[in-house]
Amino acid sequence: MHRHAFFRAARTPQPALLQGADVERLADLDPTLWVVLARPRRLPGGEDGDVADAIGGDDAGRVRVPDVLAAIDWLRPRLASFDRLFLPFEGLVPEDVRADTPEGKPLADLLAALAKEGPVTAEAIDRERRAFEAGPLNGSDALPVEAIPDAPLRDLARLLLRLAAPEGGTRPLPREDALRGLETLDAWRAWRAERPDYPYPDDDLERLGRLSGRIDRFFADCEALRFSPEAAVARLDPGKPLAEGPLAIPSAEADALPLRRGVNPAWRDDAARLADLVGTDRLTRGDWERLKAAAAPARLWLGRRPGGDRADDLAALDRADTPETRARLLALYDANRAKAPTARAFEELGRLAALRGGLLRFLRNFVNVADLYPPRTRPVFLEGRLYLDGRRCALCFPLGEGEDAAAHAAAAKASRCCLAYCEATRQGRKPRAFLAVFTAGSTGHLAVGKRGLYVDGRGDAWDAAITLLDLNAISLTEAFFAPWRKIAQTCAETARRLVSGKGDAAAATASALLAKAAPQPPPAASGTSRMASAATLGIALSFVATAVATLASAATRAPLWKTGAVVAGLVLAVSVPSVILAWCRLRNRDLAPILNASGWAVNLPIGLTARLGAHFTHAATTLGRRFVLPRKE
């Protein structure tokens, strides 16, 4: 049992990954001590997608603790040492791969063949794998038809592919499709050998089959009209195509079917060929019955034809297929299958390169969040920077496409952070939504609609605008002045309402006086009301003046330190409760609810201290700057 070390960050103990044994023996670590239990495989910002795919997961696109442990078990017989994960990675080198295990030996041999000019990156492995798969022998059960160097074999494979995929295309030909096509060809050859002795070619038999039902209908309609002129027979419908009409117009006087004149134009060619076969332009009922009886065995044989209507393709395949070419094609499939270990080695080597280069960073954002404490490297769940309101906010969480910001905010509200949901736009690109968490400065100037600049992980600049706000205290300084700011706002609002009310009353009085035709003395009641208002205002002013005079008198009689102590006590009595409440909220700020809202299963709190807040949100300052007067142009 491996004993893992721990470190404490933001009042949360987290397992430390200090050496290869800490990673190799993660199965000995209780899952209740992992910071994250599950997360989406694909993050909206596109971070660590390759290593997440290399780790694997379920079909729902999730990576869980058992998936990580399974990836470590897969690495154990292939990676030379888990301590290699802690070294800088520029590409796979022979020292990374074990050559003393059955699982690692093919990878070591393949890497030795590729690593002739230095470290082999994942991109180089992928490029070599694509070149290998495009060759004639790619280790799969499907042959790339156009890569077959032998022309007769290539032609045979093309015909088999056309038989298997009538829609066309240049996809590889699977062995199963090739064998099925050859079986169809053998059945077609056996069927051809069973052809009855009949003088007409197959095309004429097919033509006879197309006309048979219509000729029977013509003679039946003629019999019906001879029995009753009002009988329902096949007629031409102007609203339908000619091909759906009768072969010829039936009548009670018709004793034969015309094959050249009076024939439906849609069937003229077939009728003319039938006339050539029977040697007459008019087909009687008796001749037709004898012709059907003579052709019945051949038509029955034709209906059993393998391959359906693919007669032309089967005939071409019959000409291309010989015992020698068939044997060589099957031998090529066997040789291709013999390359399967190489193909598997390419796939496993690519996975090994992805895990070697990115597994440690993945674990530092899954087993713990060491990339956040201290912030040496940007965590994978963050992406980009927001410049807004004189601050640079690096705590930006990208949202998934179509994700509802309101629903996300409802789940992330428990973080007790100042949340600003923004939308970034750029010409020619899809808009993208993200959450910016402000952790320094104040909330005074943040408002919905305020615009800024967003720089994504690739360095591209976007226009950004706040679409939703969830304001919370950001700093103790802001909390100290918050009550006084609120008092000032209340006083200003009260004064504004008072002045606005007096102005409205004066305007209404003036309008009423101008609207009257003749001046009239104001009612006694209004004079009394104005006198009462004036008296009330005078009393209030006298109270205020008395209070100010009393305070001034006390201040002049008392020592200066006592006056300062009273003022300080008054200030502290108003501000200290606000500071205490803000300190409690700031101490309990947690990023876990934000990640939970984004689909992460966070197991432990991810605290956000004041020091981290100052790092993630940098406020602009002019201290130490040199100021000059603006020069007139």
| Domain contains 526 | no
Last residue of a domain, one of 312, 332, 352: 332
Q: How far is CA 584 from the centre of its chain?
A: 39
Rounded to a whole number of angstroms, the distance between the first and last alpha carbons of the chain is 76
The structure tokens listed for 605 are 């709190």
pLDDT by residue (tens digit) across 478-520? 666 666 666 776 777 777 777 666 556 666 665 665 565 445 5
Q: Both 303 and 220 in a single domain? A: yes
Query: CB of 425 within 8 A of CB of 411?
Result: no
Choice among 179-183, 516-520, 573-577, 620-624 with the minimum mean pLDDT? 516-520
The mean per-residue pLDDT over the stretch 414-441 comes to 93
Q: Both 127 and 154 in a single domain? A: no
Using alpha carbons, select from 123, 63, 65 the residue that is nearest to residue 89.
123
Q: Both 462 and 403 in a single domain? A: yes
Q: Both 166 and 127 in a single domain? A: no
- Mapped onto helix, strand or coil, the DSSP state of residue 589 is coil
Q: Both 295 and 165 in a single domain? A: yes
Q: What is the spatial distance between Cα 465 and Cα 431, in angstroms, rounded to a whole number?
A: 11
Q: What is the predicted pLDDT for the residue at 518?
A: 45
Q: How much is the CA Rg of the chain, to the nearest whole Å?
A: 44
pLDDT by residue (tens digit) across 102-159? 999 999 999 999 988 889 999 999 999 999 988 888 888 888 888 888 899 999 999 9
Detail the DSSP E strand segments found in 326-427: 385-388, 391-393, 396-398, 418-425
More confident residue, 374 or 178: 178
Greatest distance between any 2 Cα atoms in the chain = 142
| Domain contains 205 | yes
Last residue of a domain, one of 291, 315, 332: 332
Q: What is the predicted pLDDT for the residue at 517?
A: 45
- Mapped onto helix, strand or coil, the DSSP state of residue 388 is strand
Q: What is the predicted pLDDT for the residue at 247?
A: 82
Q: What is the predicted pLDDT for the residue at 35?
A: 95
Q: Both 262 and 396 in a single domain? A: no
Q: Structural domain of residue 605, as residue ranges?
A: 385-477+590-619
Q: What is the predicted pLDDT for the residue at 395?
A: 92
pLDDT by residue (tens digit) across 64-78? 999 999 999 999 999
Q: Both 118 and 160 in a single domain? A: no
pLDDT band at 570 (very low <50, low <70, confident <90, very high): low
Last residue of a domain, one of 313, 332, 351: 332
Q: What is the predicted pLDDT for the residue at 539?
A: 53
| Domain contains 370 | no
Q: What is the predicted pLDDT for the residue at 574?
A: 62
pLDDT by residue (tens digit) across 276-311? 888 888 888 888 888 888 888 877 887 787 887 788
pLDDT band at 598 (very low <50, low <70, confident <90, very high): very high
| Domain contains 494 | no
| Domain contains 464 | yes
Angle 556-561-566 from CA coordinates, rounded to 5°:
80
| Domain contains 33 | yes
pLDDT by residue (tens digit) across 517-556? 445 554 544 444 444 444 454 554 555 556 555 656 655 6
Q: Both 327 and 345 in a single domain? A: no
The mean per-residue pLDDT over the stretch 439-447 comes to 85
Share of the chain above pLDDT 90, in %: 42
Q: What is the spatial distance between Cα 413 and Cα 417, in angstroms, rounded to a whole number?
A: 8
Could you write out the DSSP letters of every residue in 440-480?
Answer: SS-STT--TT-EEEEE-TTS-EEEEEEEEEE-----HHHHH
The mean per-residue pLDDT over the stretch 190-206 comes to 78
| Domain contains 183 | yes
Q: Both 323 and 350 in a single domain? A: no
Using alpha carbons, select from 178, 141, 146, 147 the residue that is nearest to residue 163.
178
Number of domains in the chain: 3
Question: Cis omega before residue 398 (within 30°)?
Answer: no
Sign of CA dihedral 301, 306, 309, 314: negative
Highest mean pLDDT among 232-236, 315-319, 528-532, 595-599: 595-599
Query: CB of 9 within 8 A of CB of 373?
Result: yes
Q: What is the predicted pLDDT for the residue at 609?
A: 81
Q: Both 272 and 346 in a single domain? A: no
Q: What is the predicted pLDDT for the residue at 533?
A: 46
| Domain contains 401 | yes
Q: Both 161 and 309 in a single domain? A: yes
Q: Both 312 and 349 in a single domain? A: no
Q: What is the spatial distance between Cα 120 and Cα 494, in angstroms, rounded to a whole number?
A: 73
Share of the chain above pLDDT 70, in %: 82
Q: What is the spatial distance between Cα 255 and Cα 258, in angstroms, rounded to a whole number?
A: 10
